[in-house]
Chain A
Protein backbone atom coordinates (compact mmCIF):
# COMPACT_ATOMS: atom_id res chain seq x y z
CA UNK A 1 0.00 0.00 0.00
CA UNK A 2 1.47 3.34 -1.01
CA UNK A 3 1.27 5.90 1.77
CA UNK A 4 1.04 9.50 0.61
CA UNK A 5 3.00 11.65 3.02
CA UNK A 6 0.73 14.68 3.16
CA UNK A 7 -2.05 15.25 5.63
CA UNK A 8 -5.70 16.05 4.98
CA UNK A 9 -7.32 19.17 6.40
CA UNK A 10 -10.95 19.32 7.36
CA UNK A 11 -13.14 21.64 9.41
CA UNK A 12 -14.89 20.27 12.48
CA UNK A 13 -17.38 22.67 14.06
CA UNK A 14 -15.53 25.60 12.51
CA UNK A 15 -12.04 24.57 13.61
CA UNK A 16 -9.37 23.43 11.20
CA UNK A 17 -8.02 19.93 11.85
CA UNK A 18 -5.24 18.05 10.08
CA UNK A 19 -5.30 14.27 10.00
CA UNK A 20 -3.40 11.50 8.26
CA UNK A 21 -4.79 10.33 4.91
CA UNK A 22 -7.10 7.35 5.43
CA UNK A 23 -8.56 8.75 8.65
CA UNK A 24 -12.30 8.31 8.98
CA UNK A 25 -14.48 11.29 9.75
CA UNK A 26 -15.56 9.53 12.97
CA UNK A 27 -11.95 9.28 14.20
CA UNK A 28 -11.31 12.90 13.24
CA UNK A 29 -14.39 14.06 15.15
CA UNK A 30 -13.27 12.22 18.31
CA UNK A 31 -9.74 13.58 18.01
CA UNK A 32 -11.13 17.11 17.69
CA UNK A 33 -12.42 16.65 21.22
CA UNK A 34 -16.12 16.48 20.42
CA UNK A 35 -18.66 13.68 20.08
CA UNK A 36 -20.83 12.75 17.16
CA UNK A 37 -24.47 12.86 18.11
CA UNK A 38 -27.18 13.89 20.56
CA UNK A 39 -29.70 11.12 21.20
CA UNK A 40 -33.46 11.63 21.02
CA UNK A 41 -33.50 12.34 24.75
CA UNK A 42 -30.44 14.58 24.55
CA UNK A 43 -27.63 12.25 25.63
CA UNK A 44 -24.24 12.82 24.08
CA UNK A 45 -23.19 9.84 22.00
CA UNK A 46 -20.05 8.66 20.27
CA UNK A 47 -19.35 5.86 17.81
CA UNK A 48 -20.09 2.32 18.96
CA UNK A 49 -19.75 -0.27 16.19
CA UNK A 50 -17.24 1.38 13.86
CA UNK A 51 -18.76 -0.40 10.86
CA UNK A 52 -21.84 1.49 9.76
CA UNK A 53 -24.41 -0.55 11.68
CA UNK A 54 -25.29 1.33 14.86
CA UNK A 55 -25.84 4.86 13.47
CA UNK A 56 -24.33 6.45 16.60
CA UNK A 57 -21.63 8.18 14.55
CA UNK A 58 -24.03 10.24 12.45
CA UNK A 59 -22.81 13.79 11.81
CA UNK A 60 -23.54 16.54 9.33
CA UNK A 61 -21.03 16.57 6.47
CA UNK A 62 -20.98 19.46 4.02
CA UNK A 63 -24.44 20.43 5.21
CA UNK A 64 -25.97 16.98 4.77
CA UNK A 65 -27.12 15.46 8.07
CA UNK A 66 -27.13 11.83 9.20
CA UNK A 67 -23.91 10.76 7.50
CA UNK A 68 -22.30 7.70 9.04
CA UNK A 69 -18.91 9.18 9.80
CA UNK A 70 -17.21 5.84 10.49
CA UNK A 71 -17.59 4.84 6.84
CA UNK A 72 -16.48 8.07 5.26
CA UNK A 73 -12.83 9.04 4.87
CA UNK A 74 -11.66 12.59 5.46
CA UNK A 75 -11.14 14.56 2.28
CA UNK A 76 -9.61 17.99 1.87
CA UNK A 77 -11.94 20.78 2.92
CA UNK A 78 -14.66 18.53 4.31
CA UNK A 79 -16.93 20.39 6.75
CA UNK A 80 -18.27 18.46 9.72
CA UNK A 81 -20.85 19.70 12.21
CA UNK A 82 -21.87 17.94 15.41
CA UNK A 83 -24.36 18.96 18.12
CA UNK A 84 -21.44 20.23 20.19
CA UNK A 85 -21.03 22.73 17.39
CA UNK A 86 -24.50 23.95 18.25
CA UNK A 87 -26.38 23.36 15.03
CA UNK A 88 -27.63 19.81 14.80
CA UNK A 89 -29.88 18.98 17.71
CA UNK A 90 -32.46 17.29 15.54
CA UNK A 91 -33.71 13.80 16.05
CA UNK A 92 -33.61 11.30 13.25
CA UNK A 93 -36.67 11.37 11.09
CA UNK A 94 -37.24 15.10 10.75
CA UNK A 95 -37.27 16.61 7.30
CA UNK A 96 -33.67 17.10 6.33
CA UNK A 97 -33.28 18.63 2.92
Chain B
Protein backbone atom coordinates (compact mmCIF):
# COMPACT_ATOMS: atom_id res chain seq x y z
CA UNK B 1 0.00 0.00 0.00
CA UNK B 2 2.76 2.36 1.03
CA UNK B 3 6.36 1.76 0.08
CA UNK B 4 9.06 3.98 1.50
CA UNK B 5 12.52 3.94 0.03
CA UNK B 6 15.65 5.69 1.24
CA UNK B 7 13.63 8.32 3.08
CA UNK B 8 15.54 10.98 5.04
CA UNK B 9 14.67 14.27 6.58
CA UNK B 10 17.03 16.82 7.98
CA UNK B 11 16.29 19.89 10.04
CA UNK B 12 19.27 22.18 9.64
CA UNK B 13 22.31 20.02 10.29
CA UNK B 14 20.43 17.42 12.30
CA UNK B 15 19.20 14.17 10.76
CA UNK B 16 15.73 13.50 12.09
CA UNK B 17 15.17 10.51 9.85
CA UNK B 18 17.84 8.58 8.03
CA UNK B 19 17.42 6.12 5.20
CA UNK B 20 14.04 4.66 6.10
CA UNK B 21 12.95 1.68 4.00
CA UNK B 22 9.56 0.26 4.84
CA UNK B 23 6.59 -1.38 3.26
CA UNK B 24 3.10 -1.10 4.72
CA UNK B 25 0.79 -3.80 3.39
CA UNK B 26 -2.81 -3.21 2.42
CA UNK B 27 -5.24 -3.96 5.24
CA UNK B 28 -2.73 -4.39 8.05
CA UNK B 29 -2.31 -2.58 11.34
CA UNK B 30 1.28 -1.48 11.50
CA UNK B 31 2.72 0.11 14.60
CA UNK B 32 5.76 2.33 14.78
CA UNK B 33 7.23 2.13 18.24
CA UNK B 34 10.15 4.06 19.58
CA UNK B 35 11.09 6.41 22.37
CA UNK B 36 9.96 10.04 22.32
CA UNK B 37 11.96 12.11 19.88
CA UNK B 38 12.99 9.15 17.74
CA UNK B 39 11.32 10.49 14.60
CA UNK B 40 7.92 8.77 14.63
CA UNK B 41 5.94 11.98 14.17
CA UNK B 42 8.26 13.17 11.43
CA UNK B 43 7.81 9.90 9.54
CA UNK B 44 4.02 10.02 9.82
CA UNK B 45 3.96 13.64 8.66
CA UNK B 46 6.06 12.72 5.64
CA UNK B 47 3.75 9.82 4.81
CA UNK B 48 0.69 12.10 5.06
CA UNK B 49 2.54 14.44 2.64
CA UNK B 50 2.41 17.32 5.13
CA UNK B 51 6.17 17.84 4.91
CA UNK B 52 8.73 17.17 2.22
CA UNK B 53 11.56 14.67 2.65
CA UNK B 54 15.17 15.75 2.21
CA UNK B 55 15.82 12.58 0.23
CA UNK B 56 14.01 9.40 -0.72
CA UNK B 57 10.64 8.46 -2.12
CA UNK B 58 7.25 7.43 -0.83
CA UNK B 59 5.06 5.36 -3.13
CA UNK B 60 1.35 5.32 -2.38
CA UNK B 61 -0.44 2.40 -4.00
CA UNK B 62 2.41 2.17 -6.50
CA UNK B 63 2.34 5.87 -7.34
CA UNK B 64 5.30 8.15 -6.65
CA UNK B 65 4.08 10.89 -4.28
CA UNK B 66 6.67 13.45 -5.36
CA UNK B 67 5.04 16.01 -7.59
CA UNK B 68 3.07 19.22 -7.70
CA UNK B 69 0.92 20.26 -4.76
CA UNK B 70 -2.11 19.13 -6.76
CA UNK B 71 -0.75 15.59 -7.12
CA UNK B 72 0.12 15.53 -3.42
CA UNK B 73 -3.31 16.85 -2.47
CA UNK B 74 -5.03 14.16 -4.53
CA UNK B 75 -3.00 11.44 -2.78
CA UNK B 76 -3.37 13.09 0.63
CA UNK B 77 -7.14 12.97 0.17
CA UNK B 78 -6.96 9.17 0.08
CA UNK B 79 -5.55 9.17 3.63
CA UNK B 80 -6.75 10.32 7.02
CA UNK B 81 -4.57 11.49 9.86
CA UNK B 82 -5.12 11.83 13.60
CA UNK B 83 -2.63 13.85 15.61
CA UNK B 84 -1.37 13.32 19.13
CA UNK B 85 -3.06 16.46 20.39
CA UNK B 86 -6.50 16.62 18.84
CA UNK B 87 -7.21 20.06 17.37
CA UNK B 88 -10.90 20.74 16.91
CA UNK B 89 -12.26 23.85 15.26
CA UNK B 90 -14.43 26.11 17.33
CA UNK B 91 -17.77 24.97 15.96
CA UNK B 92 -20.15 22.04 16.36
CA UNK B 93 -19.06 18.42 16.38
CA UNK B 94 -21.02 17.76 13.18
CA UNK B 95 -19.27 20.59 11.34
CA UNK B 96 -15.89 19.40 12.57
CA UNK B 97 -16.57 15.95 11.19
CA UNK B 98 -17.89 17.35 7.91
CA UNK B 99 -14.74 19.29 6.97
CA UNK B 100 -13.13 16.53 4.91
CA UNK B 101 -16.32 16.09 2.91
CA UNK B 102 -16.70 19.83 2.41
CA UNK B 103 -13.11 20.20 1.20
CA UNK B 104 -13.68 17.41 -1.32
CA UNK B 105 -16.85 19.05 -2.63
CA UNK B 106 -19.17 16.24 -1.48
CA UNK B 107 -22.88 16.45 -2.26
CA UNK B 108 -24.29 18.58 0.61
CA UNK B 109 -27.42 16.41 0.71
CA UNK B 110 -25.35 13.39 1.74
CA UNK B 111 -23.18 15.14 4.31
CA UNK B 112 -25.47 14.79 7.38
CA UNK B 113 -25.92 11.04 6.86
CA UNK B 114 -22.22 10.43 6.37
CA UNK B 115 -21.38 12.54 9.42
CA UNK B 116 -23.90 10.55 11.46
CA UNK B 117 -22.47 7.21 10.44
CA UNK B 118 -18.93 8.41 11.21
CA UNK B 119 -20.08 9.53 14.67
CA UNK B 120 -21.87 6.23 15.13
CA UNK B 121 -18.61 4.42 14.33
CA UNK B 122 -16.80 6.22 17.15
CA UNK B 123 -19.76 5.98 19.54
CA UNK B 124 -20.57 9.69 19.64
CA UNK B 125 -24.02 9.61 18.07
CA UNK B 126 -26.11 12.44 19.53
CA UNK B 127 -23.10 14.74 19.94
CA UNK B 128 -23.72 16.46 16.56
CA UNK B 129 -24.76 19.85 17.92
CA UNK B 130 -22.34 19.97 20.86
CA UNK B 131 -19.55 22.52 20.63
CA UNK B 132 -16.40 20.59 19.87
CA UNK B 133 -14.21 22.65 22.20
CA UNK B 134 -16.30 21.61 25.21
CA UNK B 135 -15.56 17.89 24.80
CA UNK B 136 -13.14 15.90 26.94
CA UNK B 137 -9.75 14.85 25.54
CA UNK B 138 -10.92 11.32 24.77
CA UNK B 139 -14.08 12.55 23.09
CA UNK B 140 -12.10 15.06 21.03
CA UNK B 141 -9.79 12.30 19.87
CA UNK B 142 -12.81 10.22 18.83
CA UNK B 143 -14.16 13.23 16.93
CA UNK B 144 -10.75 13.46 15.24
CA UNK B 145 -11.01 9.79 14.24
CA UNK B 146 -14.58 10.27 12.96
CA UNK B 147 -13.39 13.33 11.03
CA UNK B 148 -10.62 11.32 9.41
CA UNK B 149 -12.86 8.30 8.71
CA UNK B 150 -15.84 10.17 7.25
CA UNK B 151 -14.12 10.32 3.86
CA UNK B 152 -13.47 6.55 3.98
CA UNK B 153 -9.70 6.81 3.55
CA UNK B 154 -7.67 3.84 2.34
CA UNK B 155 -5.02 4.52 4.96
CA UNK B 156 -5.52 5.90 8.47
CA UNK B 157 -2.45 7.40 10.12
CA UNK B 158 -2.43 8.08 13.86
CA UNK B 159 0.36 9.78 15.75
CA UNK B 160 0.39 8.58 19.37
CA UNK B 161 -3.40 8.88 19.48
CA UNK B 162 -3.68 7.86 23.13
CA UNK B 163 -0.58 9.50 24.59
CA UNK B 164 -2.59 12.12 26.49
CA UNK B 165 -5.58 9.99 27.43
CA UNK B 166 -6.73 8.11 30.52
CA UNK B 167 -6.79 4.28 30.44
CA UNK B 168 -10.54 4.05 29.79
CA UNK B 169 -10.41 6.40 26.80
CA UNK B 170 -7.31 4.61 25.56
CA UNK B 171 -9.09 1.28 25.57
CA UNK B 172 -12.06 2.78 23.71
CA UNK B 173 -9.74 4.10 21.00
CA UNK B 174 -7.86 0.81 20.73
CA UNK B 175 -11.10 -1.14 20.29
CA UNK B 176 -12.20 1.42 17.75
CA UNK B 177 -9.05 0.99 15.68
CA UNK B 178 -9.47 -2.79 15.64
CA UNK B 179 -13.10 -2.33 14.58
CA UNK B 180 -12.17 0.08 11.79
CA UNK B 181 -9.51 -2.27 10.51
CA UNK B 182 -11.67 -5.38 10.53
CA UNK B 183 -14.94 -3.81 9.34
CA UNK B 184 -13.72 -1.33 6.77
CA UNK B 185 -10.39 -2.98 5.90
CA UNK B 186 -8.66 0.35 6.35
CA UNK B 187 -4.89 0.08 6.47
CA UNK B 188 -3.83 1.55 9.81
CA UNK B 189 -0.43 2.94 10.62
CA UNK B 190 0.03 4.33 14.08
CA UNK B 191 2.86 5.32 16.35
CA UNK B 192 3.18 4.81 20.06
CA UNK B 193 5.85 4.81 22.70
CA UNK B 194 3.86 2.25 24.65
CA UNK B 195 5.06 -1.20 23.64
CA UNK B 196 2.17 -2.92 25.31
CA UNK B 197 -0.24 -0.98 23.13
CA UNK B 198 1.78 -1.85 20.05
CA UNK B 199 1.59 -5.47 21.10
CA UNK B 200 -2.18 -5.39 21.59
CA UNK B 201 -3.06 -3.87 18.25
CA UNK B 202 -0.45 -4.45 15.61
CA UNK B 203 -0.06 -7.16 13.03
CA UNK B 204 3.48 -5.98 12.42
CA UNK B 205 5.62 -3.33 14.00
CA UNK B 206 8.68 -1.27 13.29
CA UNK B 207 11.05 -0.05 15.97
CA UNK B 208 12.44 3.39 15.32
CA UNK B 209 15.53 4.57 17.20
CA UNK B 210 17.40 7.84 16.66
CA UNK B 211 15.75 8.38 13.29
CA UNK B 212 16.57 4.93 11.98
CA UNK B 213 14.31 1.96 11.54
CA UNK B 214 16.08 -0.50 13.83
CA UNK B 215 13.85 -3.53 13.23
CA UNK B 216 10.67 -4.43 11.38
CA UNK B 217 8.80 -7.62 12.05
CA UNK B 218 6.03 -9.44 13.81
CA UNK B 219 5.47 -8.93 17.50
CA UNK B 220 7.15 -12.22 18.29
CA UNK B 221 10.24 -11.27 16.27
CA UNK B 222 10.64 -7.98 18.01
CA UNK B 223 9.84 -9.12 21.54
CA UNK B 224 11.80 -12.34 21.52
CA UNK B 225 14.43 -11.75 18.85
CA UNK B 226 15.38 -8.09 19.12
CA UNK B 227 18.13 -6.78 16.87
CA UNK B 228 20.65 -5.44 19.28
CA UNK B 229 20.82 -3.98 22.72
CA UNK B 230 18.83 -0.78 22.20
CA UNK B 231 15.79 -2.46 20.70
CA UNK B 232 15.98 -5.12 23.38
CA UNK B 233 16.01 -2.59 26.19
CA UNK B 234 13.12 -0.68 24.63
CA UNK B 235 10.92 -3.76 24.25
CA UNK B 236 11.51 -4.80 27.85
CA UNK B 237 14.37 -7.29 27.75
CA UNK B 238 15.94 -6.60 31.14
CA UNK B 239 18.80 -9.04 31.24
CA UNK B 240 21.42 -8.54 28.55
CA UNK B 241 24.66 -10.50 29.03
CA UNK B 242 27.81 -10.79 26.97
CA UNK B 243 29.78 -14.05 26.89
CA UNK B 244 31.92 -16.44 24.86
CA UNK B 245 30.76 -19.76 23.40
CA UNK B 246 32.70 -22.66 24.98
CA UNK B 247 31.27 -25.71 23.24
CA UNK B 248 28.51 -26.36 20.77
CA UNK B 249 26.81 -29.72 20.54
CA UNK B 250 24.27 -29.93 17.75
CA UNK B 251 23.02 -26.41 18.32
CA UNK B 252 23.08 -26.48 22.12
CA UNK B 253 25.84 -24.06 23.01
CA UNK B 254 27.50 -23.47 26.34
CA UNK B 255 28.24 -19.79 26.92
CA UNK B 256 30.56 -18.67 29.70
CA UNK B 257 29.70 -15.43 31.47
CA UNK B 258 31.89 -14.58 34.40
CA UNK B 259 32.05 -17.67 36.62
CA UNK B 260 28.73 -19.02 35.43
CA UNK B 261 27.73 -20.66 32.18
CA UNK B 262 24.48 -20.74 30.26
CA UNK B 263 23.11 -23.36 27.94
CA UNK B 264 21.45 -21.73 24.97
CA UNK B 265 20.06 -22.75 21.61
CA UNK B 266 22.30 -21.15 18.99
CA UNK B 267 24.38 -22.23 16.01
CA UNK B 268 27.45 -20.22 17.06
CA UNK B 269 30.84 -21.98 17.03
CA UNK B 270 33.13 -22.12 20.11
CA UNK B 271 35.20 -18.98 20.64
CA UNK B 272 32.50 -16.65 19.30
CA UNK B 273 31.48 -13.67 21.44
CA UNK B 274 27.70 -13.52 21.79
CA UNK B 275 25.05 -11.46 23.59
CA UNK B 276 22.24 -13.17 25.47
CA UNK B 277 18.83 -11.53 25.80
CA UNK B 278 16.52 -12.79 28.53
CA UNK B 279 13.01 -11.44 29.03
CA UNK B 280 12.10 -11.11 32.74
CA UNK B 281 8.90 -13.18 32.31
CA UNK B 282 11.07 -16.12 31.21
CA UNK B 283 13.00 -16.23 34.46
CA UNK B 284 11.48 -18.19 37.33
CA UNK B 285 12.51 -17.93 40.95
CA UNK B 286 12.56 -20.79 43.45
CA UNK B 287 13.96 -21.53 46.91
CA UNK B 288 16.94 -23.95 46.68
CA UNK B 289 16.21 -27.42 48.11
CA UNK B 290 18.93 -29.45 46.41
CA UNK B 291 16.97 -32.54 45.43
CA UNK B 292 14.46 -31.27 42.86
CA UNK B 293 15.06 -32.38 39.28
CA UNK B 294 13.94 -30.25 36.40
CA UNK B 295 14.29 -29.97 32.63
CA UNK B 296 15.28 -26.33 32.94
CA UNK B 297 18.89 -26.17 31.78
CA UNK B 298 20.02 -22.96 33.42
CA UNK B 299 19.82 -22.69 37.19
CA UNK B 300 21.82 -20.04 38.95
CA UNK B 301 22.01 -19.49 42.68
CA UNK B 302 22.13 -15.90 43.85
CA UNK B 303 20.82 -13.42 46.38
CA UNK B 304 18.04 -10.91 45.86
CA UNK B 305 19.35 -7.35 45.70
CA UNK B 306 16.28 -5.42 44.63
CA UNK B 307 12.47 -5.79 44.62
CA UNK B 308 10.36 -3.31 42.66
CA UNK B 309 6.59 -3.53 42.90
CA UNK B 310 4.65 -3.04 39.62
CA UNK B 311 1.16 -3.57 41.03
CA UNK B 312 0.29 -7.23 40.42
CA UNK B 313 3.90 -8.03 39.53
CA UNK B 314 7.24 -7.65 41.22
CA UNK B 315 10.49 -7.14 39.41
CA UNK B 316 13.18 -9.10 41.23
CA UNK B 317 16.89 -8.53 40.68
CA UNK B 318 19.02 -11.55 41.61
CA UNK B 319 22.77 -11.23 41.87
CA UNK B 320 24.23 -14.47 40.50
CA UNK B 321 27.64 -12.99 39.81
CA UNK B 322 25.77 -10.99 37.21
CA UNK B 323 22.34 -9.40 37.64
CA UNK B 324 19.43 -11.55 36.41
CA UNK B 325 16.02 -9.88 36.38
CA UNK B 326 12.79 -11.79 36.83
CA UNK B 327 9.17 -10.74 36.74
CA UNK B 328 6.99 -12.71 39.13
CA UNK B 329 3.53 -12.20 40.55
CA UNK B 330 3.20 -10.38 43.82
CA UNK B 331 1.34 -13.39 45.21
CA UNK B 332 4.14 -15.88 44.50
CA UNK B 333 6.64 -13.43 45.95
CA UNK B 334 4.63 -13.50 49.17
CA UNK B 335 4.28 -17.30 49.20
CA UNK B 336 8.02 -17.78 48.69
CA UNK B 337 8.70 -15.16 51.38
CA UNK B 338 11.17 -13.31 49.21
CA UNK B 339 13.06 -10.34 50.60
CA UNK B 340 16.30 -8.57 49.94
CA UNK B 341 19.14 -10.93 50.86
CA UNK B 342 17.13 -14.17 50.34
CA UNK B 343 19.12 -16.84 48.54
CA UNK B 344 17.18 -18.13 45.52
CA UNK B 345 17.59 -20.08 42.32
CA UNK B 346 16.91 -18.23 39.07
CA UNK B 347 15.99 -20.62 36.26
CA UNK B 348 15.73 -20.00 32.53
CA UNK B 349 15.01 -22.55 29.81
CA UNK B 350 17.69 -22.77 27.14
CA UNK B 351 15.08 -22.12 24.44
CA UNK B 352 13.91 -18.90 26.14
CA UNK B 353 17.23 -17.14 25.69
CA UNK B 354 17.70 -15.15 22.51
CA UNK B 355 21.29 -15.20 21.30
CA UNK B 356 22.94 -12.86 18.84
CA UNK B 357 26.52 -13.25 17.71
CA UNK B 358 28.49 -10.02 18.04
CA UNK B 359 29.72 -8.64 14.73
Chain B binds chain A: no
Interface positions of B (Cβ within 8 A of A): none
Interface positions of A (Cβ within 8 A of B): none
